[in-house]
Amino acid sequence: MHIVNELAHVLYQTLDGKLTEEKIQQMIEKPKYEHLGDYSFPCFELAKILRKSPNVIAPEIANEMQSPIISHTEIVGGYVNIFLQQEVIATSVLTSILQEKESYGTGSSGNDKVVTIDLSSPNIAKPFSMGHLRSTVIGNSLALLAEKQGFQAVRINHLGDWGTQFGKLIVAYKKWGKEEIVRENPIQELLKLYVQFHEEAETAPSLEDEARAWFKKLENGDKEALELWEWFRHESWQEFLKIYDILGIKFDSNDGEAFYNDKMDRVVKLLEEKSLLKESDGAQVVELEDLPPCLIKKSDGTTLYATRDLAAALYRQETYEFDQSLYVVGNEQSLHFKQVYKVLEKMGYDWHSGLKHIPFGMMLKDGKKMSTRKGKVVLLESVLKEAMELALTNIEEKNPGLVNKEAVAKQVGTGAVIFHDLKNYRLHDIEFSLEDMLKFEGETGPYLQYTHARASSLLRKGNFEPEGDASHHLPEAWQVIIQLYAFPEVVARAWSEYDPSQVAKYLMELARAFNKFYGSVRILDDTKWMQARITVVFAVTVVLKEGLRLLGMTAPLEM
């Protein structure tokens, strides 16, 4: 059991059920200063219930609390400050890590059930945006966290490869595009055409009609339209692959929106059978009680984003029999997912309760939203490349003799970009800043990777044997031990709250505690403490590496 849970349980028994165990768990605090104790329980709320002074209650509780993990308590101003049995805890946590290595912190709540994760899902013929990067790294981390809890994660890249934008693109390409130029630099050129379309359409609205007509042709299987579409799709996919390759991300499925083209009639039919389809201004909709109606078919007969998502949900349930189905998509699409999930509920599928939109905030540039239409985007591939170059420059400066410099620079550069995203709670907007991402000190990925490399080099120098004696009394490493002890709890909560930032923040705390420990004692000093201290260092490398892996990052041994 984890410390806070265990303390809450002990307090619950001491208090004879006057507060629930859950409530107590929330009330337990970490004191501001280490010398005040490891945890602390405020007695003010209990004082109100019992109509007694907190100063009277605190010593009563302190006297009755009994647990093998508690060493002693102190009373300070209405608080019971709790000091833990350091040696008991240190021995238990270090023994676990030595035995389990990277499996430390693995949970079993998943029980082999399936979680599908809809992630990344960029739009074909447009650049891979920062928003899609957010979806990619958050989704990938959630998949890794799910697997850590024993779920089977299915990563689905629901590519935006169908829709009215292809009508626009075909019109623009036919009017202003040149084949050789597009072939040379597909994403950039297609984006230019897309931007030009929107500029010209402002003064020539008939362009929009032409675009609609071309999309209709595409939906009807027109040969020329299909060929162009396939070409755009192919070129874009090749570009996206480069990015996935750099990030080290693979998908179990890349079935995008077009995959559902022949699966939508069935949805429409099912909706008709269940008498859910209503006509509204020539369009087909499903009316919803507290939400705007969900559009299923437009008046011109063309289908919609929502229809494809309905078909996709059915397909995923039938194919994977998921227990949960996550959609890692920006919070501007909240209404869309509410509508889609509601329609599935109305259709009578009990599995609708496993569908979850995992929204995230925007990536801002100078406080403003980045928009593809106006061409104001930062190209992700160049961001990643720049990050790797900067990492290389840093390495050349700090460690010119390092072998595999290029490979390490790739790990560090991508790590910087991933961590810059995941250290923030996902719903917060993030200011895009190359400079911040690439700082190698402070709250950054490279700082964590560097800490790992530093610890690893100590292990090499100390010729560490992991089978060492794991019984320890190491007051100087206590803050590190407490962090190590918390790891299983943190990863379990990060999963259940779909929040990788909890792992990111945790790793920062662990690295800080470790660096303090590292700075305060000479670890390789040949005293009788050396083996115990080096065991702590080993445990730190294991947990740092595993924590970084759960964020989708790697931990170089040297940098």
Binding site for ligand ARG (CB under 6 A): 118, 121, 123, 158, 160, 309, 312, 327, 329
Q: Please state, as a whole number, how many other Cβ atoms lie within 10 Å of the Cβ of residue 490.
A: 22
Name the residue among 209, 138, 154, 184 with its Cα closest to residue 358. 138
Q: How far is the CB of 260 from ligand ARG (least distance, A)?
A: 10
Q: Which is nearer to ligand ARG, 105 or 359 (CB)?
A: 359
Q: Do the beta carbons of residue 378 and residue 370 sit within 8 Å?
A: yes
Residue closer to ligand ARG (CB basis): 142 or 312: 312
91 neighbors 469 (Cβ within 8 angstroms): no
- For the bound state, the minimum distance from the C-beta of residue 2 to ligand ARG, rounded and expressed in Å, comes to 35
Least distance from C-beta 308 to ligand ARG, angstroms?
A: 8
Helices 186-203 and 164-176: angle between axes, nearest 10 degrees: 90
How far does Cα 192 stand from its chain's mean position?
32
Sheet order of strands, 355-358 included: 152-156, 114-118, 324-328, 355-358
Select 118 or 210, whichever has its Cβ closest to ligand ARG. Answer: 118
Neighbours of 366 (CB within 10 A): 8
Shortest Cβ distance from residue 163 to ligand ARG (Å)?
9
Pick 54 or 160: Cβ nearer ligand ARG: 160
Identify residue 416 by its one-letter amino acid code: A
Instruction: Pick the closer one to ligand ARG by CB: 160 or 488.
Output: 160
CA dihedral of 291, 296, 297, 303, whole degrees rounded to 10: 120
- Closest approach, Cβ 307 to ligand ARG, in A, equals 11
* 324 and 356 Cβ atoms separated by less than 8 Å: yes
- In the bound state, the residue with its beta carbon closest to ligand ARG is 160
**CB 165 to ligand ARG: min, Å:** 10
Closest residue by Cα to residue 347 from 260, 284, 277: 277
Residue number, 340 or 438, with CB nearest to ligand ARG = 340
Residue number, 158 or 297, with CB nearest to ligand ARG: 158
- Is residue 13 exposed (0-12), middle (13-18) or buried (19+ Cβ within 10 Å)? middle
The 3-state secondary structure of 399-439 reads: CCCCCCHHHHHHHHHHHHHHHHHHCCCCCCCEECCHHHHCC
Smallest distance from ligand ARG to CB 312, Å: 6
Closer by beta carbon to ligand ARG, 123 or else 535: 123
- Between 41 and 260, CB nearer to ligand ARG: 260
Calpha distance 484→92 (Å, rounded):
11
Please name the residue that has the structure tokens 């626009």.
168
Whole-number minimum distance, CB 236 to ligand ARG, in Å? 12
Shortest CB 123 distance to ligand ARG, Å: 5
